[in-house]
Amino acid sequence: MNNKFKIRLHSGLGDVFRLLSEHTSIDLFYQTHGLVLYWVYDQYDLKDYINPEQYTDGETRPMCVIVHDIFSKVPFMKLVSQDEFNALEATELDNWYNRPRIETDPQPFKLQGMFPNEQQGFQIPLLAEEDLEINNLINLSEKTICVHVSGRDKIKNYSVDSHVKLFQMLLETYPDLTIFLIDRPGKIIDPRMLFDTRIVNLIDKVSRVQEINLIQRVDYLICPDSYSKYVRRWVNGKQTIMACHYSYLSDSSTLNEVFGHYKYKWRPGLIYNPAVTVLGAKYPPEGDPWSPIYSFKSDDYKIIENINEITPEEIFNTITY
């Protein structure tokens, strides 16, 4: 059986994880057939990954380097140049560049549906000392929660005051709780949010791969509409997501493509999911709104403009252990 494929990644980290999530056979195919997955990122080439230490500012670190930081740890993912990628005879997997525009266009290959119990995602391994660090953090207390503080868009930045109020409620209710704060490298946390020793700021203190493993291992995740929601979905762990409206995408499309129905493994699987609460979004309570036989109205769907319309009490009320 052919075990070599190639894929084009692009856009933000959330888009990368969402695209890989659609190929639900990846992990089991690797375990049973020795998968090799060659990849490139958008229009960048190998020279763009040379000397990544030159990018000391997290705000300006190219996304191609961030992606490489993560997937260089995955044994079956092989970065190649654009020329090598184009010359490879390996089957190119479905991605947002090669999807058909009209019905007669050929359907790209999807690495999905090949195993009866396949799931989204795959392991991103840690070095032994990195793994020990994460285990030590998890063992700080009986209950742990990860809070992804903000997204790159301003509409995804939850206010300091709301964070403080939420943390106060959590720590009062769960005295044995540790709250881990994560965000993009270089993000400065307002000191008001660090009012208790049980709140641990991990920004620039752990690697991105350690952050991914932490997101998957804690008891709960709270996040804006960020890449972490997909990372958490790979283990189907409990989480609360604060959704917000995209100016370039309809609310119906956002719920279908960005969040996705839990019933379908190749969709993101974040709505109608008993492990996930999506706040700030209205959608029909039953059925599959994107089925051809489902008749819906545009006012069945609505997503708020800014996550600060969500109160700390609303978030707190979703959290269960």
The CATH superfamily label for domain 128-318 reads Glycogen Phosphorylase B; (3.40.50.2000)
> How far apart are the C-alpha atoms of 277 and 274, rounded to whole Å?
8
pLDDT digits (tens, 9 = 90+) for 241-252: 999 888 777 887
210-245 in b/e form (b: 16+ CB < 10 A) is bbbbbbbebbbbbbbbbbbbbbbbbebbbbbbbbbb
Q: Backbone dihedral region of 18: left (phi > 0), alpha (psi from -120 to 50 degrees) or beta? A: alpha
Contact 93, 6 (CB under 8 A): yes
276-279 β-sheet, strand order? 199-201, 177-182, 143-148, 220-224, 239-242, 276-279
Q: Identify the bridge partners of residue 107 per DSSP, sorted by sequence position.
A: none
pLDDT of residue 187: 86
Which ranges in the chain are annotated with CATH 3.40.50.2000? 128-318
pLDDT in tens, 283-298: 877 665 556 555 555 6
Per-residue pLDDT tens over the stretch 229-279: 999 999 999 999 999 888 777 887 788 889 988 887 788 999 989 999 999
Handedness of CA 200, 205, 210, 211 (dihedral sign): positive
What backbone torsions phi and psi does residue 222 show, to the nearest 5 degrees? -120, 130
